[in-house]
Copies of this chain bind each other. A is one copy, B any other.
Amino acid sequence: MAHATSSVDGEDVAAEVVRALTAARRTIAVAESLTGGAVTAALVDVPGASAVLRGGVVAYATPLKASLLGVDADLLAAHGAVHPLVAEQMARGVREAAEIEGAPADYGLATTGVAGPDPQDGAPVGLVFVAIADAEGCEVREVHASGDRSAIRAATARAALELLAERLAADETRPPSST
């Protein structure tokens, strides 16, 4: 299994995070906007993903971010969908949405941003936020991606998977939940 983190298409990063999640016996759910399912699909591509991936929500239309993920509708009305707090609430919301038998997913990963070709909600093309949430908090990263619509979406998916990989590497220093 590949462990490199420099893959252009994110495949190696996806394999790395599935390996790390499996080793840690932790689960993940994904909330996607501009990436439209590409982050989740990259994880599903890895054999063994079913042990760690619960699923996710593609909240492409802005109102679904509120109705399916619990993002504050007033926040969306005031700032639009491309905002760090929207990314945070998407990541926190999908953890809860993917609850099974009372247990939320251990991690929630989210993407929101502008793939273009036009600016959105006053945000420029290429401005992207990715977020990783767990029970203890949430980290949001701002990304400035360039290129066409497809390139921006691929860069966003890669940035989200890299944020998750870094979090998992940091969390490996925690005591393992079991052997």
Q: Report which A residues bind B (CB closer than 8 A).
A: 30, 32, 34-41, 43-45, 47, 49-50, 53-61, 63-64, 67-68, 97-101, 117, 149-150, 153
Contact = CB atoms under 8 A, between A and B. Distances in A.
Contact of A61 (B39, B59, B100): B100
Contacts of A100: 61, 63-64, 67
A22 to B, nearest CB: 15
A123 to B, nearest CB: 14
A61 B53 CA distance: 7
A8 B73 CA distance: 40
Contact of A60 (B38, B55, B64): B55
Contact of A57 (B36, B39, B57): B57
A41 to B, nearest CB: 4
A44 B37 contact: yes
Contacts of A68: 55, 57, 97-98
Contact of A41 (B37, B47, B98, B117): B37
16 contacts: A34-B44, A35-B41, A36-B44, A36-B49, A37-B38, A37-B56, A54-B60, A54-B61, A54-B64, A55-B68, A61-B98, A61-B100, A64-B100, A67-B100, A68-B97, A68-B98
Contact of A37 (B37, B64, B150): B37
Contact of A117 (B36, B47, B101, B153): B47
A56 B58 contact: yes
Contacts of A99: 67
Nearest to A40: B37
